[in-house]
């Protein structure tokens, strides 16, 4: 009985997957005007993307060193081939809805020659190209449903593209406090 | 009255104490009085004796004086001359003779002339009266006697008219020229004698002393009569017994007797010794004191003692009452309780008295006895009711027994008829047994074949079991291998992820390289798709592996079940074998048994005959037991009555 139910469920999922592939294929094959390439990753149930140009690399976040007297969204720092990189937790920083069961195994490192920081992610999806016709206006979405500060664009398939310039220019993530001072 | 005293310990004790006090008192009193009386009497007797002797001496002296005076007077010449010379001068003579009685001790005298045979001269007495009464009188006789004997003599008391009363004379012969010419008659002063005797010094109120002559008449006055101015001399006579007693001896003795006034008196008496004076007088002297005077002090003592006794008796009574009350009070209360107890009331309570003596011990012991009695009675009552119920049960049981005995008797009759039938049946059973024996032998050989077949089956089952064991082992191994396959798949999955990561990083690097990196981007894309493919493959493999694992698990379980079933089969075949061999054994045993049955059937017939005899004796025994049970029934009835009596007896005691 149970097995039958499982089999039914699988069959349904298979059908859905096939349908999704059928729908996705023509878009990829079409000659469209490419906007930019992004690295797609997942935090909780949302897919986020960052332009490839601002990416440094993706690494495993298994050797995090926690820093005392820092805000809770600063998970820690990692040694990335000699460079010290701070790793942020967007869940805590933007109070994202979190089921709390999954652990973040990977860190996406962004930066240029001046600035560098890591973002904890649940899963790395991969690289993709974002086309112009995919991008929606930010007005279409409610401000509450997405990170308000770092948002650049949202695609039609709900990919939230983060703006590196906003990350870089965000003063609130710069920690410069004496011990005992109230933290953000 | 007697019961009134014996009915109460109080009165008894009072009486006892009184008796103990008063009896010795009475005895002492009696002894004291007796001794006092004796001593008094002895003393008085001695006093009386002394008085008697003194008085007798005084009288004797007085008489001696009279004799002497008479003799002296007679011897005077004047007197002789007076008689011999015829014409003597009366007046002259008077003058000369007056001197004789000058002492005044004598009343007077008479001179008698033998020649004239008449009194010729008197002094103190009228001569004419003398002369007139003289002839043929006692005095004349006396004068003649004196003349004849020629010596001084006494004339005892006579009634003499000239003195108008009693008189006593002393006669002395008057000699002249050797010849008796006359008699000098001296009139003795009897008043003086009377005075001596009436002197009651040392005699008390009733004391008296008199002189009596041998004729029993008194020679001196009786004091009592004298006080009443009655004459007693020669008028009163003492009793003959007194007279005889008085004249018994001259030494005298004292004892009690009736006196002349018919009163009990202590009397001392003796014959008077007058030999030295004269032999003419035979007198006795009597001194007496009346009893009531002697006993007056004794009576006084008795009176005092009686008063003392009464006081002592009263004190003894009071003491006795106090002592008796202290003893009897608890006893009386105890008695009332004991009376209740005797009537069967055991609920009485006696308050303990704090006494160390026997009464305290008695009350305490009584309390203890009461307590134990109460307990015992309660137990007896309980026991009696239990006994009664038990007897009721017994009688019920006996009735049942009687019914049972009757049933037994009828049953025995039935049994004996049944036994005849059994005898017949036994014959049939013996025949059947022989037949069964044959059949059993046949069955025995068949069961032997069955035995062999089961042995083969057991061997086959053992082989199957071993095979199953091997199968199970293999399947377990398989299961372990699928586990390691799972691990390998995990590793492959990990590798795929790593390569995905690498592909992304490569893509990033390629993007950084710009136009130069485009080709590399394609490579990275390819790597990424490879990684994704391998990941999909691992997913498929792991799905297949899951199915395999499930299959092996169910196979393991199936083999387990199979091996268990095989084992059960082995057991079953073994027990079948055992059953068949047991069957074979029992069949041969039953063959033996049937042989024994037929043999025992014969014995049974003999046994049944013996049984019939035994039944007869059982029947007689049952009859006897029936009688016995009837007796038992009677006995139980009488026991019931006995229990009822016992119960009524114990119920007389109240315990609550």
pLDDT for A24 equals: 72
pLDDT digits (tens, 9 = 90+) for A60-87: 888 889 888 888 888 899 988 888 999 9
CA B476 to CA B552: how far, in whole Å?
Answer: 8
Residues of B in contact with A127 (CB under 8 A): 504, 507-508, 511, 521, 524-525, 528
Q: Flag whether B60 is in a domain.
A: yes
Q: Are residues B437 and B568 in the same domain?
A: yes
- Is B1 a member of any domain? no
Distance in angstroms (rounded) separating the CA atoms of residues B73 and B121: 13
Residue numbers in B near A126 (CB within 8 A)? 500, 503-504, 507, 528
**Whole domain around residue B500: which residue ranges?**
401-651
Residues 6+ apart with CB under 8 A from B571: none
User: Same domain for B243 and B122?
Assistant: yes
B551 touches chain A (CB under 8 A): no
Residue B299 CB burial class (10 angstroms; 0-12, 13-18, ≥19): exposed
β-sheet with B180-187: strand ranges across? B118-123, B108-113, B180-187, B165-175, B153-160
Residue A183 maps to a domain: no
Confidence at residue A180, expressed as pLDDT on a 0 to 100 scale:
61
Q: How far is B457 from chain A (nearest CA, A)?
A: 41
- B409 lies in some domain: yes
Please compute the mean of the pLDDT values over residues A124-151 and round it to a whole number.
70
What is d(CA B8, CA B5) in angstroms, rounded to the nearest whole number?
Answer: 6
Same-domain pairing of A42 and A85:
yes
Same domain, B409 and B287: no
- Tell me, yes or no, whether A54 and A14 share the same domain: no
> A124 with A107, same domain?
yes
**Chain position carrying tokens 């396959």:** B485
Number of domains in chain B: 2
Please give the pLDDT value at position A87. 92
Name the phi and psi angles at B260, rounded to 5.
Answer: -70, -15
B157, B167 in Cβ contact below 8 A? yes
Q: What is the pLDDT of residue B89?
A: 56
Strand-pair category, A83-88 with A106-111: unpaired
Contacts of B507 in chain A (CB under 8 A): 37, 39, 52, 126-127
Scanning A50-79 for CB atoms below 8 A from B yields 52-53, 55-58, 60
* H or E element, residue B619: helix B518-651
Mark whether A27 and A99 lie in a shared domain.
no
Mean pLDDT of chain A: 80
Question: Domain boundary residue among B297, B323, B350?
Answer: B297
Give the nearest partner residue to A58 out of B501, B512, B528, using CB atoms.
B501
Residues A7 and A65 in one domain: no
- Whichever domain contains A159, its CATH number is 2.40.50.180
Asked, for residue A119, whether it belongs to a domain, the answer is yes
Whether A113 is covered by a domain: the verdict is: yes
Angle subtended at Cα B307 by Cα B302 and Cα B310, rounded to the nearest 5 degrees: 120
CA distance A91 to chain B (A): 22
Residues B405 and B293 in one domain: no
- Write down the pLDDT at residue A140: 47
pLDDT at residue A137, rounded to an integer: 67
Q: Judge: A58–B507 Cβ closer than 8 Å, yes or no.
A: no
CA dihedral B164, B167, B173, B174 (to 10 degrees): -40
A155 and A84 housed in the same domain: yes
Backbone angles phi, psi at B269, to 5 degrees: -145, 150
- Asked, for residue A56, whether it belongs to a domain, the answer is yes
End position of a domain, from candidates B268, B297, B326: B297
Q: How far apart are CA B229 and CA B46, in angstroms?
A: 31
Residue B388 in any domain: the answer is: no
CA distance B424 to B414: 16
Answer yes or no: do A82 and A159 share one domain. yes
Task: Note whether B508 contacts A106, CB cutoff 8 Å.
Answer: no
A184 domain residue, yes or no: no
Q: Is the pLDDT of residue A145 over 60?
A: no
Average pLDDT over residues A149-155: 81
Tell whether A60 is covered by a domain. yes
B69: Cβ–Cβ under 8 A, 6 or more apart, which residues? B100, B103, B105, B106, B170, B186
Q: Please report whether residue B440 resides in a domain.
A: yes
| Domain co-membership, B42 together with B187 | yes
Residues B193, B49 share a domain: yes
Q: Are B44 and B204 in contact (CB under 8 A)?
A: no
Please tell me the distance from the alpha carbon of residue B362 to that of residue B496, in angstroms, as a whole number.
Answer: 120
Clarify whether residues B413 and B290 are in a common domain. no
Specify if B368 maps to a domain. no
Are both B452 and B566 inside the same structural domain?
yes
Same domain, A96 and A158: yes
Contact A39 B508 (CB under 8 A): yes
Residue B344 lies in a domain: no
- Percentages helix, strand, coil for chain A (3-state, rounded to 5) are 30, 35, 35
Answer whether residue A137 is part of any domain. Answer: yes
Instruction: Answer yes or no: do B511 and A53 touch at CB < 8 A.
Output: yes
pLDDT at A143: 46
| Contact status of B39 with chain A (Cβ, < 8 Å) | no
Nearest to A39 among B504, B521, B525 (CB): B504
**CA atoms in the 13 A half-sphere facing the CB of B403:** 6
* Chain B hits for A55, Cβ within 8 Å: 508, 511
A60 contacts in chain B (CB < 8 Å): 501
A37: chain B residues, CB-CB within 8 Å: 507, 511
Q: Clarify whether residues A62 and A20 are in a common domain.
A: no
Whether A85 and A162 share a structural domain:
yes
Domain final residue pick, B234, B267, B297: B297
Q: Are residues A105 and A90 in the same domain?
A: yes
Q: Is residue A104 part of a domain?
A: yes
pLDDT of residue B236: 82
CA distance B551 to chain A (A): 13
Distances (CA, A) of B250 to B194, B271, B283: 21, 5, 10
The CATH code of the domain that includes B515 is 1.10.287.2610
How many other C-beta atoms are found inside a 10 Å radius of the C-beta of residue B122?
19
A2 and A77 inside one domain? no
DSSP string of B200-259, one letter each residue: -TTTTTT-EEEEEETTSBBSS--HHHHHTT---TTT-B--HHHHHHHTS-SS-EEEEEE-
Strands (E) located in chain A: 34-43, 46-51, 55-60, 74-80, 83-88, 106-111, 116-121, 123-131, 135-136, 151-155, 159-162
Q: Is residue B354 situated within a structural domain?
A: no
Name every chain A residue with its beta carbon within 8 A of the beta carbon of B502. none
Compute mean pLDDT per 10 residues along chain B, 656 residues long, and list them.
Answer: 73 82 84 85 85 87 85 76 63 60 66 81 80 83 84 84 83 81 83 82 79 85 80 82 82 79 82 81 85 81 85 86 82 83 80 79 84 87 87 87 86 84 81 79 79 83 85 85 87 88 86 81 86 89 88 86 84 84 81 79 82 85 86 87 85 75
Judge whether B511 is closer than 8 Å to chain A, CB to CB: yes
Which residue range forms the structural domain that includes residue A21?
1-31
Q: What angle do CA A60, A61, A66 make, to 5 degrees?
A: 160
Domain count, chain A: 2
For the domain that residue B96 is a member of, what is the CATH number? 3.30.450.20
Cβ-based contacts of B509 with chain A (< 8 Å)? 57
Q: Which of B216, B219, B176, B234 is nearest to B59 (CA)?
A: B219
| Contact state of B512 with A106 under an 8 Å Cβ cutoff | no
Tell me how far apart the alpha carbons of residues B574 and B459 are, in angstroms, rounded to a whole number.
10
The angle at the Cα of B182, spanning B177 to B187, to the nearest 5 degrees, equals 140
Taking only the tens place, the pLDDT of each residue in B260-285 is 777 788 888 888 888 877 878 888 88
CA–CA dist A152, A159 (Å, integer): 11
pLDDT-derived band at A25 (thresholds 50, 70, 90) equals low
């Amino acid at each position: 009985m149970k097995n039958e139910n499982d089999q039914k469920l699988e069959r349904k999922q298979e059908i859905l997957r096939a349908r999704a592939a059928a729908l996705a294929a023509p878009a990829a094959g079409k000659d469209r005007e490419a906007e930019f390439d992004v690295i797609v990753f997942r935090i909780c149930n949302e897919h986020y993307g960052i332009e490839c140009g601002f990416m440094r690399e993706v690494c495993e976040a298994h050797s995090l060193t926690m820093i005392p007297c820092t805000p809770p969204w600063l998970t820690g720092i990692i040694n990335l081939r000699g460079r010290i990189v701070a790793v942020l937790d967007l869940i805590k920083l933007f109070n994202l809805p979190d089921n709390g069961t999954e652990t973040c195994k990977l860190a996406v490192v962004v930066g240029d020659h001046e600035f560098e920081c890591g973002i904890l992610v649940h899963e790395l999806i991969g690289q993709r190209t974002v086309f112009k016709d995919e991008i929606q206006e930010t007005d279409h979405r409610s401000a509450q449903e997405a990170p308000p500060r770092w948002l650049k664009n949202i695609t039609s398939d709900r990919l939230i593209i983060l703006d590196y310039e906003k990350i870089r220019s965000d003063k609130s993530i710069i920690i410069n406090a004496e011990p005992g001072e109230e933290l953000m | 009255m007697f019961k009134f005293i014996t009915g109460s310990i109080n009165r008894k004790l009072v009486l006892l104490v009184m008796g103990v006090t008063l009896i010795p008192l009475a005895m002492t009193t009696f002894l004291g009085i007796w001794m006092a009386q004796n001593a008094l009497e002895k003393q008085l007797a001695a006093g009386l004796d002394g008085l008697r002797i003194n008085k007798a001496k005084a009288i004797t002296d007085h008489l001696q004086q009279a004799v002497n005076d008479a003799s002296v007077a007679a011897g005077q010449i004047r007197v002789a001359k007076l008689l011999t010379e015829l014409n003597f001068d009366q007046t002259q003579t008077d003058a000369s003779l007056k001197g004789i009685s000058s002492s005044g001790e004598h009343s007077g005298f008479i001179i008698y002339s033998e020649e004239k045979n008449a009194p010729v001269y008197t002094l103190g007495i009228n001569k004419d009266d003398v002369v007139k009464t003289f002839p043929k009188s006692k005095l004349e006789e006396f004068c003649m006697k004196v003349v004849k004997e020629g010596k001084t003599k006494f004339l005892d008391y006579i009634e003499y008219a000239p003195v108008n009363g009693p008189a006593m004379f002393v006669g002395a012969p008057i000699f002249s020229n050797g010849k008796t010419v006359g008699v000098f008659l001296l009139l003795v002063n009897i008043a003086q004698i009377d005075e001596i005797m009436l002197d009651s010094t040392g005699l008390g109120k009733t004391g008296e002393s008199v002189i009596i002559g041998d004729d029993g008449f008194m020679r001196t006055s009786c004091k009592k009569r004298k006080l009443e101015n009655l004459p007693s001399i020669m008028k009163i006579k003492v009793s003959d017994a007194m007279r005889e007693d008085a004249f018994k001896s001259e030494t005298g003795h004292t004892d009690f007797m009736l006196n002349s006034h018919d009163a009990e008196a202590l009397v001392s008496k003796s014959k008077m010794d007058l030999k030295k004076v004269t032999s003419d007088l035979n007198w006795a002297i009597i001194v007496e004191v009346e009893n009531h005077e002697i006993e007056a002090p004794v009576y006084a003592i008795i009176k005092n003692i009686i008063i003392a006794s009464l006081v002592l008796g009263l004190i003894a009574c009071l003491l006795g009452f106090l002592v008796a009350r202290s003893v009897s009070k608890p006893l009386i209360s105890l008695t009332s309780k004991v009376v209740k107890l005797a009537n069967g009331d055991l609920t009485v309570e006696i308050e303990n008295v704090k006494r160390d003596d026997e009464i305290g011990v008695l009350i305490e012991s009584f309390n203890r006895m009461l307590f134990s009695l109460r307990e015992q009675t309660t137990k007896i009552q309980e026991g009696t009711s239990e006994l009664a119920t038990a007897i009721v049960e017994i009688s019920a049981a006996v009735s049942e027994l009687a019914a049972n005995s009757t049933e037994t008797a009828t049953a025995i009759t039935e049994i004996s008829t049944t036994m005849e039938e059994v005898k017949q049946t036994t014959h049939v059973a013996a025949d059947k047994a022989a037949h069964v024996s044959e059949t059993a032998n046949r069955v025995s050989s068949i069961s032997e074949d069955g035995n062999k077949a089961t042995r083969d089956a057991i061997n086959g089952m053992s082989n199957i079991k071993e095979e199953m064991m091997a199968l199970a082992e293999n399947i377990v191994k398989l299961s372990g291998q699928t586990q390691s396959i799972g691990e390998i798949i995990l590793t492959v999955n990990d590798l795929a992820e790593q390569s995905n990561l690498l592909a992304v990083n490569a893509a990033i690097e390629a993007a950084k390289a710009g136009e130069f990196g485009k080709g590399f981007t394609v490579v990275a894309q390819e790597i990424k798709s490879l990684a994704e493919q391998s990941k999909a493959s691992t997913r498929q493999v792991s799905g297949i592996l899951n199915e395999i694992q499930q299959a092996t698990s169910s196979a393991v379980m199936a083999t387990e079940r199979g091996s268990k079933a095989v084992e059960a089969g082995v057991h079953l075949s073994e027990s079948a074998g055992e059953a068949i061999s047991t069957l074979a054994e029992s069949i041969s045993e039953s063959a033996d048994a049937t042989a024994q049955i037929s043999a025992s059937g014969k014995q049974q017939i003999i046994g049944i005959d013996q049984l019939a005899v035994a039944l007869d004796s059982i029947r007689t025994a049952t009859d006897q037991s029936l009688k016995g049970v009837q007796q038992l029934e009677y006995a139980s009835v009488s026991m019931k009555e006995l229990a009822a009596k016992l119960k009524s007896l114990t119920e007389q005691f109240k315990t609550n």
